[in-house]
Amino acid sequence: MALARDGEDRVKLLERFHEEHEFIERVAGALYRWAEEGGDPADAGRFAHFLAVYSAGFHHAREDGILIPALVEHVEVPADRGPIMVIQEEHHRLEELAARLGSTADREVAREIARILWEHIDKENSVLFPEAEERLHREGVRELEDRPMTPDEEAARARGEALVERYSPLEDPDVVRGEGCIICSAYAETCRGIEAEWWNRWEWENHFRKDHGG
């Protein structure tokens, strides 16, 4: 696995993504409590709005529009298969489900959104981001140009904070959180895992030597 970085050495955009994940997963927990404990049906539309405007429109849009193009351009990882394909398919799926939550207030849709978001965040935090950061550094890319939140996105974030206040985040006891490709539902289905999809020969040999004390 790629080396962890800290302090000034980190790509700031990825640091911001990590912070956004901490917030989004709390809203996912609030959504899960809303589903489990019979929250106000009118709040389905508020969750859907947060998911569409902040989670998809701000967060996922910058992963898709800044990080992934940078990886394809500077690092030359494939965009049409492997981890990037999986991540983008999940962004699309989450958008569809958020729209369905808004129109139906269906609690099973809410549970599915929360579960996908938790797994999605785990795989980005533990696989995509560290592997991306390692590669961007290797190519001399220290920073990626970001954009600020629009007023609508700030309002959506505030709405998410209000929902977390109203429904204290709840975890699904059946969901196992974790790190690495092994927790990813696409692993061995539509993606062969980061090593097979991204690693080059040098990385295989280098990691093999490190793992075996060489």
Residues that bind Fe ion (CB under 5 A): 63, 124
**Nearer of residues 21 and 46 to Fe ion, judged by Cβ:** 21
Q: What is the 3-state secondary structure (H, E, C) of the chain?
A: CCCCCCHHHCCHHHHHHHHHHHHHHHHHHHHHHHHHCCCCCCHHHHHHHHHHHHHHHHHHHHHHHHHHHHHHHHHCCCCCCHHHHHHHHHHHHHHHHHHHHHHHCCHHHHHHHHHHHHHHHHHHHHHHHHHHHHHHHHCCCCCCCCCCCCHHHHHHHHHHHHHHHHCCCCCCCCCCCCCCHHHCCCECCCECCHHHHHCCHHHHHHHHHHHCCC
User: Least distance from C-beta 17 to Fe ion, angstroms?
Assistant: 6
Q: Minimum distance between the CB of residue 96 and Fe ion, rounded to whole angstroms?
A: 15
Closer Cβ to Fe ion, 15 or 36, answer by number? 15
In the complex, minimum distance from the CB of residue 10 to Fe ion, in angstroms, rounded to a whole number:
16
Q: How far is the CB of 128 from Fe ion (least distance, A)?
A: 8
Q: Nearer to Fe ion by C-beta: 43 or 63?
A: 63
**Cβ contacts of residue 199 below 8 Å, gap of 6+?**
207
Q: Based on CB atoms, which residue is closest to Fe ion, 17 or 107?
A: 17
CB of 91 to Fe ion, least distance (A): 6
- 124 or 197, CB closer to Fe ion? 124
